[in-house]
Amino acid sequence: MSPPNNYSSRQAGRALKVPYRTLSRWFRHFQLFGETPAITANRNSRFGCLRKKYRRLVTPQVIACLRILVHQTPWMFLDEFRDSIFLQTGIFLRCSTIYRLLKKQGWSLKKIFADALERCASF
């Protein structure tokens, strides 16, 4: 006798000992690409050298530049940070990369926004 196939996604997650969100992410991936995430990751591993190239773009110089920009002008948007970093260092970063760098440095957009409000209130 075969096991029943009418598991809910939560029951399947408990049976596989996988969190529900991970299971739903795998299912969405399967719906989009028609294969499991592991197969897609294996196929994309040959592009790993490109990812390493982009990782090298974030140098200590870029991090220092971003830190100075945040302290001097906290009211800037991410794309303005990107443009300023490009003008100062010649390295083009995506907004998502800048956001992740801010998070790594312990900054959130709420902290930056709060600093900007304090400075505007003092004028």
Distance in angstroms (rounded) separating the CA atoms of residues 107 and 20: 30
Q: pLDDT value at position 68?
A: 92
pLDDT, averaged in runs of 10, over the chain (123 residues): 61 79 82 77 56 65 90 83 89 87 81 66 56
Q: 107 CB contacts (<8 Å, ≥6 apart)?
A: 70
Q: pLDDT value at position 1?
A: 39
Domain residue ranges in the chain: 9-48, 57-121
Cα-to-chain-centroid distance, residue 32: 21
Distance in angstroms (rounded) separating the CA atoms of residues 21 and 117: 36
Q: pLDDT value at position 2?
A: 42
Q: pLDDT value at position 78?
A: 84
Q: What are the contacts of 42-46 at 24+ separation with CB within 8 A? A: none
